[in-house]
């Protein structure tokens, strides 16, 4: 019964599809059921998945998780720094601490570089590396400007984004940029400001405060 002839008689002809490509013809073999099962299964899975992560804002995407982790990292950094005061000794002591300035540099590159350039040389925002400042005379002024922003001049406020110790860290990084040599500096703007220095008498207590020791 299973001879080639009988197979021929049962007729496989209807199973052969109509089209013919250079003499190559094709059987109408159905997809295996496990394959179609997977296909429809993944289609059905995709609909609620898409709605959950992308429409309702219920699920957390990889990008959300990343932002949470970065935020947590900064939180941790700030917590380790303790309760930093936005005064000149603390800012200048931190500015001299190259390790802590790595954290300041991260924050600067992620949030400020779009306007002030990756190395602080200035783009739409002013050059932060020269001796000229528009709104700053003392190191504390850096904190004030970064904290409150200059809303009418295009400089955003950062108090709603960062905690106070983080803003002190960032201000210290800005102070540390002074005297550095960016690749494409903008021309100086504002008034020349006398160099800032750490009075020796306060530097010890400031170091102690800044290091949390």
The contact set with ligand HEC (CB under 6 A) reads 111-112, 114-116, 124-126, 128, 133-136, 142, 145-146, 150, 153-156, 158, 170, 174, 190
Residue with smaller CB distance to ligand HEC, 20 or 131: 131
Nearer to ligand HEC, 7 or 109 (CB): 109
User: Minimum distance from CB of 143 to ligand HEC (Å)?
Assistant: 9
Comparing CB distances to ligand HEC, the nearer of 74 and 158 is: 158
What is the smallest separation between the CB atom of 33 and ligand HEC, expressed in angstroms?
A: 57
Cα atoms found within 13 Å of the Cα of residue 113, Cβ hemisphere only:
10
Backbone angles phi, psi at 137, to 5 degrees: -120, -45
Least distance in Å: CB of 127 to ligand HEC? 8
Nearer to ligand HEC among residue 65 and residue 189 (C-beta): 189
Whether 186 contacts 127, CB under 8 Å: yes
133, 191 in Cβ contact below 8 A?
yes
C-beta neighbour count of 125 within 10 angstroms: 19
Give the nearer residue to ligand HEC in terms of CB position, either 135 or 180.
135
Give the residue from 148, 160, 162 showing the smallest Cα distance to 84: 162
Least distance in Å: CB of 202 to ligand HEC?
A: 23
> Which residue matches tokens 């400089």?
155
Question: What is the rounded CA–CA span in Å between residue 74 and residue 80?
Answer: 10
Minimum distance from CB of 120 to ligand HEC (Å)? 9
């Amino acid at each position: 019964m299973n001879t080639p002839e009988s197979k021929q008689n049962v007729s496989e002809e209807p199973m052969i599809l109509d089209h013919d490509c250079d003499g190559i013809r094709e059987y109408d073999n159905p997809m295996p059921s496990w394959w179609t099962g997977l296909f429809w299964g993944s289609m059905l899975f995709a609909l609620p998945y898409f709605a959950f992560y992308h429409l309702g804002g219920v699920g957390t995407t990889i990008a959300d998780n990343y932002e949470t982790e970065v935020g947590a990292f900064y939180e941790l950094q700030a917590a380790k720094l303790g309760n930093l005061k936005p005064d000149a000794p603390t800012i200048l002591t931190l500015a001299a601490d190259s390790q802590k300035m790595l954290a300041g540099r991260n924050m600067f590159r992620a949030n400020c570089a779009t306007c002030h350039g990756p190395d602080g040389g200035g783009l739409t925002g002013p050059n932060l590396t020269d001796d000229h400042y528009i709104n700053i005379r003392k190191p504390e002024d850096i904190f004030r400007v970064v904290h409150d922003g200059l809303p009418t001049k295009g400089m955003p406020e950062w108090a709603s984004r960062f905690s106070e110790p983080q803003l002190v860290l960032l201000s210290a990084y800005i102070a540390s940029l002074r005297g550095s040599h960016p690749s494409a500096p903008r021309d100086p703007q504002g008034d020349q400001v006398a160099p800032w220095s750490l009075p020796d008498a306060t530097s010890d207590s400031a170091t102690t405060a800044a290091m949390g020791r």
